[in-house]
Amino acid sequence: MITLVTGGNRGIGLEVGRQLADLGHTVLLTARSLEAATAAASRLGPAAHPLRLDVTSQENTERVAAEIADRFGRLDALINNAAITYDTWQRAVDADLDVVREAAETNLYGPWRLVQVLLPLLRKSRHPRIVNVSSEAGSLAGMGGGTPAYTASKVALNGLTRMLAGELRPEGILVNAICPGWVATDMGGPGGRPVVAGAAGIVWAATLPDDGPTGGFFRDGRPLPW
Ligand code: NAP
C-alpha cells in the first residue's frame, strides 16, 4: 500500500506514518520543508519517502503528484492531516477574518486541492481511501462558541467529506472524517492522550476493508455525531 500523509514531520502525522510503516505501507511522508520531511522519514526507516509539500500550494501539490506517478504509478491512501490555528484566543463575534481565511487555506482548501490533484492516482489503486483528519470541534451537534477559525474550517471539511464520499462511492473510494481525540501535540498542548492513541483511529480509516464505511465521522473507529 502506498500512503501519503500531510504534515508528517511531527505530532499525529508523524505517528500515523510510523504506524503505517509498521503495517508494511510505503509511506510518502510529506512536510512543508524537505529538511523536516527527510528528518522525520529517517526516524521511520526505509518504508518512508520524504517529500516537500505545503498543502496551500497548487504547484507543490502538482509536483508531488508527478513524483508519485513517476515512482509508484498509483496512490492507495491519502491522509489529509495537516492543519493550523486552534484559535482559543478568538470568538466568532469579533474574529479576525484574515485568520479565519488563512486557517481555511490549510485546513479546508488544502485537503480539497490534494483530493482533486491526486484523484487520478487514487483511481489507479484497487483499494483507494481518503482520510480527512477533522475534530469534534467541527461537530454541529454539540457546538457552542470559541475557536472560530479552526471550528469553521473543520465544519467545512466535514461537509467536503460527505460530498466526496457521495461522489466517489460508485468508484469504491472510501472517504471518512476522523477525530483523533484530544492529543498531546504542539496543537493539543499538554494533558491530551498520547499520539499513539490519536493516530490509531486515522490508521484504521486508511486501512478499511472494501466493504468498510464511507461518508462517516469517527473517533477510535466509533461514529461521532455530525
Ligand atoms: P501539530 O502538532 O500542530 O502538527 C501540525 C502539522 O501540520 C505539522 O506537521 C505542520 O507542519 C503541518 N502543517 C501546517 N500547515 C501546513 C501546510 N500548509 N502544509 C503542510 N503541512 C502543514 O498538530 P496535530 O495535533 O498533530 O494535529 C494533526 C491533525 O489532528 C490536525 O488536522 C488537527 O486539526 C487534528 N486534531 C488534533 C487534535 C489535538 O488534540 N492535537 C484534536 C483534534 C483534531 P510544520 O511543522 O511545518 O508547522
Residue 10 CA: nearest ligand 1 atom is 9
Atom of ligand 1 nearest to the CA of 137: 43
What is the predicted pLDDT for the residue at 158? 98
CA nearest ligand 1 atom 6, residue: 7
Question: Residue 137: which of 185, 181, 106, 93 has the closest Cα?
Answer: 181
Instruction: Spell out which residues line ligand 1, taking CB within 6 angstroms.
Output: 6-7, 9-13, 31-32, 36, 53-56, 81-84, 106, 133, 135, 179-180, 182-183, 185-188, 192
Question: Would the pTM of this model clear 0.95, i.e. be above it?
Answer: yes
Query: Could you tell me which of 173, 195, 176, 175 has the C-alpha nearest to residue 184?
Result: 195
Give the residue, by CA position, lying nearest to ligand 1 atom 42.
182
Task: Using the mean position of ligand 1's atoms as its centre, give its distance from the Cα of residue 182 in Å.
Answer: 13
Catalytic residue selected from 109, 112, 150, 218: 150
Q: What is the chain's mean pLDDT, rounded?
A: 98
Residue 182 — pLDDT band, cuts 50, 70, 90? very high
Mean pLDDT over residues 30-46, rounded? 97
Q: Where are the alpha helices (DSSP H) in the chain?
A: 11-22, 34-44, 58-71, 97-104, 110-122, 148-168, 195-206
What is the CB-side half-sphere exposure of residue 73 using CA atoms within 13 A?
A: 1
The alpha carbon of 118 and the centre of ligand 1 are apart by a number of angstroms equal to 20
Pocket test for ligand 1, best of 63, 187, 217 (most atoms within 8 A of CB): 187
- In the prediction, which pLDDT does 145 show? 95
pLDDT digits (tens, 9 = 90+) for 105-142: 999 999 999 999 999 999 999 999 999 999 999 999 98
What would the pLDDT profile of 44-103 be if each residue is shown by its tens digit? 999 999 999 999 999 999 999 999 999 999 999 999 999 999 999 999 999 999 999 999
175-204 mean pLDDT? 98
Which residue, judged by its Cα, is nearest atom 19 of ligand 1? 54
Structural domain spans, the chain: 2-223
Q: Residue 92 has what DSSP assignment? A: G
Query: In the block, which residue shows the cell 522525520?
Result: 40
Q: Which fold has domain 2-223?
A: Rossmann fold (3.40.50)
Closest C-alpha among 2, 6, 27, 30 to residue 17: 27
Q: Is residue 109 annotated as part of the catalytic site, yes or no? A: no
Q: Other CB atoms closer than 10 Å to residue 100's CB: what's the count?
A: 19
Among 168, 150, 149, 156, residue whose Cα is nearest residue 132: 156
pLDDT of residue 20: 98
